A and B are shown apart, each in its own frame.
Chain A
Amino acid sequence: MKYILIGVGLSVLSIASFSFAQGTIDGAVVDRETQLPLPGANVFLQGTVIGSVTDSDGYFSIRNVPDERITLVVTMIGYARFTQTDVHIAPGETQSFTIELRPTVIETSPVVVTATKTERSLRDVPTSVSVMQSREIERRNVFSIDEVLRNIPGVHFNLSQINIRGSSGYSHGAGSRVMLLVDGVPLLSGDSGEITWELIPVDQIERVEVVKGAGSTLYGSSALGGVVNIITRDLPERSMTAVRMQGGVYDKPHYSEWQWSERSRYKHNMHISHGQQIGNVQVVGSLGALNDDSYRRNDSRRRIMGYLKGRYTLSPYQSLTVSSFFLNQIRHNFLYWSSFDNPLEPFEEQIGEEVESFRIQSNVQYRHVFGSESFLTARTSWYHTDWEDNIGSNGNASRSNVFGAEVQFNSTVGRSHFLVSGVDVSYHTVDSDIFGTRSGYVFAAYVQDEWNITTPLRITGGVRFDITRLDTIDTFMNISPRAGIVYTALPHLTFRASTGAGFRAPAVAEAFAMTAASGLIVRPNPDLDAERSWSFEAGVNADITNWMNIDAAVFQNEYSDMIEPEARIEEEGLTAQFINLVRARVRGAEAGITFSFFDRRLQPRVAYTFVDGRDLDLDEPLKYRHKHMLVTGMLARYSVGWIEIDYRYLSKVENIDDELSIIVDKPDKQVPVHVVDISAGVEGSIGGIPLRFSASIKNLLQYHYVEFVANVQPIRQYIASLQVMM
């Protein structure tokens, strides 16, 4: 062991002392037609870890270019990929390029990484994936990333719980059937297994990828309903500081009898970020604070967020990236409305109840590139959550830690096989009043082969083996296979199909929660088993003309041993316990059309999702699912200004927990959802300082609806934001 450690130490030292007496590439990226600079373009050297993103002037600089023939690649959404081969920069030399990108009339196939754990064009993956770029997020003036995910086809929320194509009902804050990743690192808490969307730094997001359907073959437990991967921005080459201020005010409710506050209710947010390169180290950090009065009584929140990311380029082929982000939040507790007469006020006894939480996620990623398609990624991560509340006579508290490590190796085998393999381990601890003192681990190994049989035909097959231990519960062993096929019939016509297994081990909260709140006694169930799914999907993507693209899919998911809460009346009162209960089937179809009119100045879009979810044991609709979902909108751009309108429709849910009527007034008060948001903005500069200003009206129609029983969603808000970059 001693010699191994010495060997590793010497290797690290030799890498760290690697001297870059190498060349530099710099220049600008512009639109070929308008010659305007293009900020946000990705510029990188193929087969290395070296790359950059253009700044607000379209400028980039890449140092430490190796002394060999390289390929320079530039990509940007809405433009054709630029490739220049045989570039050679001698050591100490600087070569400048002005790269003109050719606009594509309609952009339908961005590069995604989540579906196959490697970079692939959207059209080349066998499952449905939706992508939302940073510009789309910025335009919508959001305070938390879950606000924009509601505009992705097939996605809806039950409060903070995401639901992709009907995969999830409402699990009362315990467990998630969707895996959330940030740069490929899982972000589910160790105790309740839930997602905290506010933790994710919105101003640092490059794009969001949403994979629909079981993803357990690559991501294990919790990915049975889909995967959301937040990709953060690449690190800047030049010193850059940005300040973003957002402010908003809630309108009064449409019905005067629902008004409970005499004063206006505000929310505001401020973020400062700074990034720069020091030698071989690129760093970006941001700090933000938010205050939200809320439109409901006892629902306000205050939070402080921080983000730090740094990358050390060890050599042209090796990099070490460290990132960390935290959230400190105090929020009041609004559980249900007190009555339908006062739907914006909670029960009187809940007034003053609040939860204070601290969450931090840190990870280290090492990447070694061996060629254009072969690389090794090793990552370790730590996610810590700590919260306490003053609910009940003594309050509650919970602390959890999730330690994770993964080694992933992507390699080409022969000329037509591309292998992704890896080992993924994690260990978690929980110390909680409600869940007890618990621990558990996951050990998993996976392999996936992508086989290019012929140029238009690509087959993917993979399997993952998971061993999961959750404290005193028997060890779960699970095998999750998957197969997919992509057939490119014509350059603009692609067919896809995939089938695969998914599973989810119970969260600590589901197995061990023991508490009483609002008249409900929650009992533990240490006999819980993992829930499992099998999913199938077939789809097509086609450019009908050069200004219209269609993507359509049909899907069917079979679930067994679904973990659902069951309510009972016992001697002590109303009790609830998570049990393996339901055999369910979710099937449906999704179709989306994207248009691009008048040289991309006008971009309408519409997508419809039909979901038929049934409980096969009870022969009734699954709870908290919408059968019909429609998202549509239009972006119009002219010169430096833009305006965008979004409309979202969800049909009324067909089934809810009837037992809630015992503790909640009129839980059946549901309506179809009609939400219209409108935003407008301009980009420009004053005195050479780039500025972005935008204003939004959220819920323009002042439409009152619930996402979950007895919880009215945000009423109309007026929001403005200003971003200054220096």
Chain B
Amino acid sequence: MKQQYFFLVCIVGAILLIVAGCDHGLNPEEDIFDSGFDGTVTLVEEWPEDSEVRMLYIFVFETIPLDSADAVNQFFQGKIHFDELRPPFQNEYTYSFNIDPGVYELVACIGIRGDNFFDLSTWMLSGIFTETDNPLEPTPVTVSPDERRSDVNIQASVIHPLPLPF
């Protein structure tokens, strides 16, 4: 009988320990990023509702892809980050991009013609972030852990796209 009590105490104790040590699992607060950057996307021409461009995205590339095959590889390796600008057909967007600290070679605004995001042939480069006078020369963005930039602004156009670098 003593042995039974011993085992019982062990089992009940183990269950109580487990229960006491449990939190509530998935936690939205863990998802708050401190690092990243903010900015505005300004469309230099109006985005008409009958435009074949139906979606605009902010894309952040760790390195500029060499070609479309490299872009696909980087996509699967998680080296390309993106976020949709909503709702469509606005002339200006304020965005906030949460991302790990690092250097990102290209921050771009990309439009999608039609509604198939995964069809690369429908992608068009609407604008890039640059601090130079050359609208085709991207300026890398450095994200540091203790400072959040808020001036990563992009001039974009859904009517006069830039050439895709990949």
CB-CB contacts of B103-142 with A at 8 A, as 1s and 0s? 0000000000000111111000000000000000000000
| Docked CA distance A649–B4 (Å) | 25
Which segment, of B35-43, B71-79, B88-96, B150-158, faces chain A? B71-79
Whether A573 touches B119, Cβ cut-off 8 Å, given contacts A343-B26, A634-B15, A645-B15, is yes
The dominant DSSP class at the B interface is: helix
| Docked CA distance A706–B27 (Å) | 12
A661-B78, A673-B25 given; 12 more Cβ-contact pairs under 8 Å? A254-B24, A341-B28, A547-B4, A548-B7, A569-B120, A571-B120, A572-B119, A597-B4, A604-B7, A674-B22, A676-B19, A702-B24
| Docked CA distance A604–B75 (Å) | 50
Chain B interfacial positions (CB closer than 8 Å to A): 3-4, 7-8, 11-12, 14-15, 18-19, 22-28, 31, 72, 75-76, 78, 116-121
Q: Does A704 contact B (CB under 8 A)?
A: yes
| Docked CA distance A666–B11 (Å) | 37
A-B contact count (CB 8 A): 90
Quick check: A573 and B24 within 8 Å, CB to CB?
A: no
Quick check: A658 and B26 within 8 Å, CB to CB?
A: no
Contacts of B23 in A (CB 8 A): 703
| Docked CA distance A10–B75 (Å) | 73
B4 contact from A258, A343, A598, Cβ within 8 A: A598
| Docked CA distance A602–B78 (Å) | 52
Contacts of B11 in A (CB 8 A): 595, 604, 606, 632, 634
B116 contact from A572, A666, A706, Cβ within 8 A: A572
| Docked CA distance A661–B83 (Å) | 12
From residue A684, how far is it (CB to closest CB) to chain B in Å?
28
Contacts of A257 in B (CB 8 A): 28
Quick check: A703 and B121 within 8 Å, CB to CB?
A: no
- Closest Cβ neighbor of B122 among chain A residues: A573
| Docked CA distance A634–B14 (Å) | 12
Quick check: A649 and B18 within 8 Å, CB to CB?
A: yes
User: What is the size category of the interface that chain A forms with chain B?
Assistant: 35 or more
Quick check: A258 and B72 within 8 Å, CB to CB?
A: no
| Docked CA distance A534–B25 (Å) | 37
Quick check: B4 and A519 within 8 Å, CB to CB?
A: no
Quick check: A671 and B120 within 8 Å, CB to CB?
A: no
Quick check: B75 and A569 within 8 Å, CB to CB?
A: yes
| Docked CA distance A705–B23 (Å) | 11
Contacts of B18 in A (CB 8 A): 647, 649, 674
CB-CB contacts of A569-605 with B at 8 A, as 1s and 0s? 1011110000000000000000000010110001010
Q: Does A97 contact B (CB under 8 A)?
A: no
Contacts of A661 in B (CB 8 A): 78
Whether A704 touches B25, Cβ cut-off 8 Å, given contacts A340-B31, A571-B120, is yes
Contacts of B3 in A (CB 8 A): 545
A647 contact from B15, B72, B120, Cβ within 8 A: B15
| Docked CA distance A647–B20 (Å) | 12
Q: Does A712 contact B (CB under 8 A)?
A: yes
Contacts of B31 in A (CB 8 A): 340-341, 666, 669
Contacts of A574 in B (CB 8 A): 118
Quick check: A569 and B26 within 8 Å, CB to CB?
A: no
Closest 5 pairs between A and B when the two form their complex, measured CB to CB: A573-B118, A574-B118, A704-B25, A704-B26, A703-B25
| Docked CA distance A340–B18 (Å) | 27
- Closest Cβ neighbor of A343 among chain B residues: B26
CB-CB contacts of A12-55 with B at 8 A, as 1s and 0s? 00000000000000000000000000000000000000000000
Interface positions, chain A 250-275, Cβ under 8 Å from B, are 254-255, 257-258
Whether A597 touches B8, Cβ cut-off 8 Å, given contacts A255-B27, A658-B78, A705-B26, is yes
Quick check: A519 and B26 within 8 Å, CB to CB?
A: no
- Closest Cβ neighbor of A572 among chain B residues: B119
